[in-house]
Chains A and B, each alone.
Chain A
Amino acid sequence: MTIPQDHIRNFSIIAHIDHGKSTLADRIIEQTGLLTAREMQEQILDNMDLERERGITIKAQAVRTIYKAKNGEEYILNLIDTPGHVDFNYEVSRSLAACDGALLVVDAAQGIEAQTLANVYLALDNDLEVIPVINKIDLPSADPDRVIEEIEDVIGLEAHDAPLISAKNGINIDQVLEAIVHKLPAPKGDPEKPLKALIFDSFYDSYRGVVVFFRVMDGRVRKDSRVKLMASGAAYDVVEVGTFGAGQLIPCEELSAGMVGYLTASIKNVKDTRVGDTITEAARPCEEALPGYKKVQSMVFCGMYPADGAKYPDLRDALERLQLNDASLTYEPETSVALGFGFRCGFLGRLHLEIIQERLEREYNLDLVTTAPSVVYKVHTLKGECIDLSNPTNMPDPTLIDYMEEPVVSAEIMVTTEFIGPIMKLCQERRGVYEGTEYIETTRALLKYTLPLNEIIYDFFDALKSRSRGYASLDYSLKGYVRSDLVKLDILINREEVDALSFIVHESTAYERGRKMCERLKEEIPRHLFEIPIQAAIGSKIIARETVKAVRKDVLAKCYGGDITRKKKLLEKQKEGKKRMRQIGNVEVPQKAFMSVLKLDQDD
């Protein structure tokens, strides 16, 4: 069945987390008759367990449905899902670039959030037609009129005839579908020109190799075509092309300009099919690649170690496999005195880190010890060298350092006016440089700050939420590097330095961090038969100290009626507990103590 280009709509849904993107996607799929309600699993697009639990979409995916509009015509709707988190900004922008239009879903109670704005601008930058959709109109606190006004004032989008819907309850979904057909433009592009297609995602399949998701801008691609990836320069013979069902791939003969689909070509590694790259014909390449391609760089690093040293090869295999599907994950072997053999892993951001960590633990059944996340610092030595430092342990001796630089981001925080005070205070505490405020309406403002990246990778998100009762939202992008007074903070347990606990902080916060770290470790380290000092030090100077007191009592008074099994179990538990510890000198440190740096500000 060939469907003319003007009966195709390629679109995505833009929304802040929890504003109902996935639910609306489900309803669209449901009402276009691709699946019966019975077959619908909740939230079809999010097919990783983890995504469903966290309620966010991690990897962009796509689905093709057929909609019979009220005018009697059938349209192909290609819904391209975008990840909803700031860590994946680049991927979002590439997914949007594959579309011609977008639905902007705004919560009728909450209104526009920082991230909504950021994504709308991304969409407008990509010349997308944007249709606002007001969701959750069934909520008691819904105020669609206010939200419509806000959309018109802040974004400048006509919103007065925006569909008012409840995705959850399936109200007015037909209006959304009609709007997609009649208000979003059909794709353009010339099928006769040389092939030019944009890669917006890919995943690894053990039978087919890498499955590449792309949008054809010009030309056509079919089975057995020889194609070339313009950024990587590699050429492949296409084995299969096709379109997306719901959760399955449907092969077809050919994809031409305006269509969205996939191809396989016996590609071994997703690294060879970078998001944003342009696919063209090997024999007849297009003149220039699509704009916007960027090599993704890891922003946050941490050490990952198997809790059981013998599992090192398992961890290596697991990382290798995860990387097959996630080109933005990097890793290289490293060794720690305290933790043994492990990997220094690079991530797009903190959320990305957490997702990988959870997947390793859940899907690969690995018990991990993760060290504090670090950003990449630039160390300028007196010799005039510049070293990229992602592991605090490798920091050169301070006497050899001329100066250091740290990455900063441009952050935009959307907040209701009542919380401006607390949020500004938070940003100040995190060494933020105030850049300005934009009032969206009388009750809401967009705060602009330049913030050091290392101040937001620990718990900035949580702090932001807790200080604004959940209302503040954040968007940020890397701005560059600035010179900064940084020091390496070392932790000594029973007078022995623990490399895996070292981290780099700004001089002004070193004392506070050191103190909190010692307090936290004191809670984590069980009492031993002897007293254990825990110290924080910069160089040879001790800046904080806590003491884990010696055990005074651990005795089972009674063994009744000769039943010793309970006693034995208790001893075994004790021994088992010891096994899960890391031996540092003669101190046994629980694995999770190494992660305690992550939660430094929890008690604030």
Chain B
Amino acid sequence: MKKRSLSVYIHLPFCAQKCLYCDFASGPAGKEEIAAYMRLLTKEIRSFEAISSLYRVETVFFGGGTPSFVAPFYISQILNQLRKQYEFSETPEITLEANPGTLDAEKLVTYRKAGVNRLSLGLQSIHESELKLLGRIHSYEDFLESYEMARQAGFTNINVDLMSALPKQTMGKWKKTLETVAALKPEHISAYSLSIEEGTPFYERYGEGRIGRLDLPGEELDRAMYHFTKEYLGSQGYRRYEFSNYAKKGFESRHNMTYWTLGDYVGFGQAAASYLQGRRFSNPAGKEEYPEASRTAYQRFRAMAPQSEKEAMEEYMFLGLRTARGVSREDFQKRFGKPFPKQYEKELLELYRQDLVEQAGGRIWLTDAGIDVSNIILARFLLD
């Protein structure tokens, strides 16, 4: 029997200090707490044993928090557990998020040995003032050191996270960040526009009405930065393959692509989300809720009804349209056994006329102008 591809997400909700823009389930923790969490996490992974044989693991992603904050043997332990349960692809993509200042040569060697072959480094900015404003605890020099160490340890696939549209940021400063980082030639760059989300320290501090005090760049500058990013990174050999992700050829994150193309993925750990056999489920975000949630995850999955065809169609569209490849009628037909609903054709025609989507070779994707206003566009693919 042919096994189905699976991506695995592991959430490690620990970090040295919460960043001001962060709305993920994470925070500082002591050794005891981390050890207890790991035990629960391992049990949760094990509880899915009954269906493990149906899958071959293609990608694993350790996210957080700061996964490099925990002792590296935990990473080995988890990967060992996964390998025990699942068949792995011959060329798996195994990513670990790390923050500068939390890495050392020994950790890196342990990661390599455990099978981690892709590092994602959170830099955000090369400017001291911007890092401070975001509540980051490292300097650009710390990053550089970590980056060099990772290369020396043999990592040949590195992503660097950057952020544009920061408070008080100018185009000049953003350019400088991009140029400096591109010169290091990482294989992959994620460049996000900052958004102030509810539940973040930023939001708490500035609240709804006071976000103006943050002195964020206006929409025009925000978009100019975004468009410049594509143009500049393009000139440096990076292609934008999703709204905020840029990669050298062949280094697009396979794990990310699973999300955008409705592939199966299972998430373990606090707040982790899964999409498995047409069922979307996730663990609650609260720390206190995880012990119970970790024990019941598999039962909850089994008890759940798969999503409706309507929901799947909607997701196929609004996730697929985030990627540069876009969606295709042929894929759609194959997946759902029927062509695009009339509503989609009608919306697409209108969007095409407004130059918000482009099409060629049977595929349809958003133009740059379309990406700028994508929330409005994607909402139209929710079915009545």
Report how far A564 CA is from B317 CA in the complex, Å: 13
Query: Is B130 among interface residues, defined by CB-CB distance under 8 A?
Result: no
Contact between B373 and A554, CB atoms less than 8 A apart: yes
Report how far A564 CA is from B319 CA in the complex, Å: 9
Q: Kindly provide the distance from the CB of B357 to the nearest chain A CB, expressed in whole angstroms.
A: 12
Task: Tell me which residues across on chain B come within 8 A of A563, comparing CB atoms.
Answer: 271, 273, 282
A574 nearest CB neighbor, chain B only: B379
Contact between B315 and A557, CB atoms less than 8 A apart: no
Query: Is B50 among interface residues, defined by CB-CB distance under 8 A?
Result: no
Contact between A552 and B382, CB atoms less than 8 A apart: no
Q: Kindly provide the distance from the CB of A562 to the nearest chain B CB, expressed in whole angstroms.
A: 5
Query: Is A155 among interface residues, defined by CB-CB distance under 8 A?
Result: no
Task: Tell me which residues across on chain A come within 8 A of B9, comparing CB atoms.
Answer: 561-562
Segment from B86-94, B180-188, B218-226 that makes contact with A: B218-226
Q: Kindly provide the distance from the CB of B316 to the nearest chain A CB, expressed in whole angstroms.
A: 12
B1-52 interface (Cβ within 8 A of A): 7, 9, 11, 24
| Contact A571/B220 with A557-B193, A564-B273 known, Cβ cut-off 8 Å | no
Report how far A556 CA is from B223 CA in the complex, Å: 13
Query: Is A558 among interface residues, defined by CB-CB distance under 8 A?
Result: yes
Chain B, residues 185-206, CB within 8 Å of chain A (1/0): the string is: 0000000110100000000000
Report how far A326 CA is from B278 CA in the complex, Å: 56
Contact between B192 and A561, CB atoms less than 8 A apart: no
Contact between B315 and A551, CB atoms less than 8 A apart: no
A560 nearest CB neighbor, chain B only: B24
Contact between A557 and B195, CB atoms less than 8 A apart: yes
Query: Is B246 among interface residues, defined by CB-CB distance under 8 A?
Result: no
Interface range on chain A (Cβ under 8 Å from partner): 20 to 34
Interface centre among A561, A564, A567, A570 (most CB of B within 10 A): A561
A501-545 interface (Cβ within 8 A of B): 529-530
Contact between A553 and B282, CB atoms less than 8 A apart: no
Contact between A562 and B376, CB atoms less than 8 A apart: no
Contact between B192 and A571, CB atoms less than 8 A apart: no
| Contact A556/B195 with A561-B63, A568-B315 known, Cβ cut-off 8 Å | yes
Contact between A562 and B378, CB atoms less than 8 A apart: no
Query: Is A383 among interface residues, defined by CB-CB distance under 8 A?
Result: no
B333-384 interface (Cβ within 8 A of A): 354, 356, 371-376, 378-380, 382
Contact between B354 and A575, CB atoms less than 8 A apart: no
Contact between B354 and A570, CB atoms less than 8 A apart: no
Contact between B280 and A551, CB atoms less than 8 A apart: no
Report how far A576 CA is from B377 CA in the complex, Å: 14
Q: Kindly provide the distance from the CB of A526 to the nearest chain B CB, expressed in whole angstroms.
A: 10
Contact between B272 and A561, CB atoms less than 8 A apart: yes
Contact between B382 and A572, CB atoms less than 8 A apart: yes
Contact between B374 and A558, CB atoms less than 8 A apart: no
Query: Is A36 among interface residues, defined by CB-CB distance under 8 A?
Result: no
B78-119 interface (Cβ within 8 A of A): none
Partner of B382, one of A554, A555, A575: A575
Q: Kindly provide the distance from the CB of B161 to the nearest chain A CB, expressed in whole angstroms.
A: 10
Task: Tell me which residues across on chain B come within 8 A of A575, comparing CB atoms.
Answer: 379-380, 382
Contact between A555 and B192, CB atoms less than 8 A apart: no
Task: Tell me which residues across on chain A come within 8 A of B375, comparing CB atoms.
Answer: 554-556, 570-571, 574
Contact between A555 and B273, CB atoms less than 8 A apart: no
Query: Is A442 among interface residues, defined by CB-CB distance under 8 A?
Result: no
Q: Kindly provide the distance from the CB of B261 to the nearest chain A CB, expressed in whole angstroms.
A: 12
B376 nearest CB neighbor, chain A only: A554
Query: Is B174 among interface residues, defined by CB-CB distance under 8 A?
Result: no
B64 nearest CB neighbor, chain A only: A561
Q: Kindly provide the distance from the CB of B155 to the nearest chain A CB, expressed in whole angstroms.
A: 22
Query: Is A168 among interface residues, defined by CB-CB distance under 8 A?
Result: no
Task: Tell me which residues across on chain B come within 8 A of A71, comparing CB atoms.
Answer: none
Task: Tell me which residues across on chain A come within 8 A of B380, comparing CB atoms.
Answer: 575
A170-199 interface (Cβ within 8 A of B): none
A562-595 interface (Cβ within 8 A of B): 562-565, 567-568, 570-572, 574-575, 578
Report how far A561 CA is from B285 CA in the complex, Å: 13
Interface centre among A551, A555, A556, A572 (most CB of B within 10 A): A555
B11 nearest CB neighbor, chain A only: A561
Query: Is A559 among interface residues, defined by CB-CB distance under 8 A?
Result: yes
Q: Kindly provide the distance from the CB of B376 to the nearest chain A CB, expressed in whole angstroms.
A: 5
Partner of B356, one of A529, A555, A561, A564: A529
Chain B, residues 264-284, CB within 8 Å of chain A (1/0): the string is: 010100011111000010100
Contact between B371 and A555, CB atoms less than 8 A apart: yes
Task: Tell me which residues across on chain A come within 8 A of B272, comparing CB atoms.
Answer: 561
Chain B, residues 218-239, CB within 8 Å of chain A (1/0): the string is: 0110110000000000000000
Task: Tell me which residues across on chain B come within 8 A of A561, comparing CB atoms.
Answer: 9, 11, 24, 61, 63, 267, 271-273
Contact between A562 and B265, CB atoms less than 8 A apart: yes
Partner of B243, one of A529, A557, A571, A574: A557
Task: Tell me which residues across on chain B come within 8 A of A559, comparing CB atoms.
Answer: 259, 322
Task: Tell me which residues across on chain A come within 8 A of B63, comparing CB atoms.
Answer: 560-561
Q: Kindly provide the distance from the CB of B273 to the nearest chain A CB, expressed in whole angstroms.
A: 4
Contact between A562 and B244, CB atoms less than 8 A apart: no
Contact between A553 and B378, CB atoms less than 8 A apart: no
Report how far A575 CA is from B383 CA in the complex, Å: 10
Contact between B273 and A562, CB atoms less than 8 A apart: yes
Contact between A562 and B371, CB atoms less than 8 A apart: no
Task: Tell me which residues across on chain B come within 8 A of A553, comparing CB atoms.
Answer: 219, 222-223, 372-373
Q: Kindly provide the distance from the CB of B105 to the nearest chain A CB, expressed in whole angstroms.
A: 28
Task: Tell me which residues across on chain A come within 8 A of B315, comparing CB atoms.
Answer: 564, 568
Report how far A565 CA is from B285 CA in the complex, Å: 13
Contact between B379 and A571, CB atoms less than 8 A apart: yes
Query: Is B143 among interface residues, defined by CB-CB distance under 8 A?
Result: no
A553 nearest CB neighbor, chain B only: B219
Q: Kindly provide the distance from the CB of B349 to the nearest chain A CB, expressed in whole angstroms.
A: 14
Task: Tell me which residues across on chain A come within 8 A of B354, comparing CB atoms.
Answer: 529-530
Chain B, residues 232-257, CB within 8 Å of chain A (1/0): the string is: 00000000000110000000000000
Report how far A356 CA is from B100 CA in the complex, Å: 64
Report how far A227 CA is from B159 CA in the complex, Å: 93
Contact between B24 and A552, CB atoms less than 8 A apart: no
| Contact A558/B244 with A529-B354, A568-B315 known, Cβ cut-off 8 Å | yes
Given contacts A552-B372, A561-B273, 18 further A-B contacts (CB under 8 A): A529-B354, A529-B356, A529-B376, A530-B354, A552-B373, A555-B243, A555-B375, A557-B243, A561-B9, A561-B272, A564-B273, A564-B315, A564-B319, A565-B273, A565-B282, A571-B318, A572-B379, A574-B379
A residues lining the B interface (CB < 8 Å): 529-530, 551-565, 567-568, 570-572, 574-575, 578
B residues lining the A interface (CB < 8 Å): 7, 9, 11, 24, 61, 63, 192-193, 195, 219-220, 222-223, 243-244, 258-259, 265, 267, 271-275, 280, 282, 314-315, 318-319, 322, 354, 356, 371-376, 378-380, 382
Some 10 contacts from A to B, beta carbons below 8 A apart, are A529-B356, A551-B373, A555-B375, A556-B375, A557-B192, A558-B195, A560-B24, A561-B11, A564-B273, A574-B375
